[in-house]
Amino acid sequence: MTRDIIYQIFPDRFCDGNELNNPQNSKKWNSPVDRECFMGGDLEGIISKLDYIKALGATAIYLNPIFQSPSNHKYDTSDYFKIDDSFGTVKDFENLVTECHKKNIKIIIDGVFNHTSTEFFAFKDILINQEKSKYINWYHILNYPVVVTTPPPYKACGGASFLPKLNTKNLEVQNYIISIVKFWEGKGIDGIRFDVPFEIEPSLLKRIREETKLYLIGEIWGYGGDYVPRYFDGVTNYLLRDLIKKAVVNQCITSKMFVDEWNTIYSMYGDNINSMVNLAGSHDTERIYTLCQNNINKEKIFYAFLFSLPGIPLIYYGDEIGLKGENDPYCRGCMDWDKYNWNKEIYNNIKELANINNTNEVFKDGKVKLTSLGERVLIITRYDNKKSISVIINFGFQSEIINGSVIEPMSFKFI
């Protein structure tokens, strides 16, 4: 998957392809979102937009959770073997996989194995039978009676009572989770992104790594050297996002400081650096256009960094057309399918960068060299035995003359 570009989709907000499966009281498409609302996006909607995704240059889709769940975000799973009713059916998912593979698009699903919803069968049994439940060791019960309240009498993800934490050290739990992985692997998926794997028992991660050939990605917000390649092929490279943010958005570091910090990240992963997922934003961050204070040039060079440095570029749905939004829930607004409202400059920039990345092998597995010039000018060179491509990025406040060429502030140029 190191040769791919990932397009991330939050299913409820991407495209409503079948209004018949919309949850009750779904809001009108493109109306303001909140933490609890449903908008009606589904798998049929995604299938209908595969040509759009392909034309953008993406070659893989990462879906936020799609399993049965009471929420709009689906990070509180109630049934791991069922597609949420509002998204469709297992048959719809199989159709999605088939249609994606016809277009050479891979499918990555979200694996939420650290916690469940309170409606998950094992936890419901505990609520009913209390100490006598045969699933009592599937969770971390702190005291009785077990009730859903705040604070909860059990360990919960983020302390949220609706997210009881599984005891992933328990072999029964481990076997159950591995059966989930095997089930969806049998449906043709290409990879799994693991939610909060740093809270999961390492022995389970090790077993999954040994028992599947799927491409495995871990959600890691900091140092990920302990996870790659031991448990995952790659992790979300939020460290790189933070570094680019300091250079492009805050403009608070020099190009030399950028190179020094990049070398630290590179040394963390070594040859596995090409498997890291380079992202500008996600469902857990503010939109990149908002982060860049609606400055198009800043967003453009943010993506120039992501597509030029080693790693797998990820585009969060809607970022390519300039969607705005602060962090959750506002970063999870509806995809706007009215082209009149698109920011064409941002769209064309991402599409062009994706094309350059897809058509030049050096961006997939070539070596990298960073050269610092002046205060805030950087040259990124990707090369192999056959070819070399460089991009000059000026993330400073003034124009710079490099090799006789004027590089305007907040701009980049391939040479």
**Cis ω on the peptide bond leading into residue 229 (within 30° of 0)?**
yes
Rounded to whole angstroms, how far apart are CA atoms 291 and 35? 20
Rounded to whole angstroms, how far apart are CA atoms 311 and 58? 14
Rounded to whole angstroms, how far apart are CA atoms 324 and 189? 31
Of residues 295, 281, 305, 317, the one with CA closest to residue 249: 295
Rounded to whole angstroms, how far apart are CA atoms 322 and 347? 8
Does residue 175 sit in helix, strand or coil?
A: helix
- What pairs with residue 110 in β-bridges? 193
Q: What is the dihedral of CA 345, 322, 193, 309, to 10 degrees?
A: 40
Given the residues 42, 195, 320, 400, select the one marked as catalytic.
195
Given the residues 219, 299, 319, 320, select the one marked as catalytic.
219
Verify whether residue 219 is a known catalytic residue. Answer: yes
Tell me which DSSP letter residue 95 carries: H
Strand duo 388-394 + 411-414: pairing: antiparallel
Catalytic residue numbers, as ranges: 195, 219
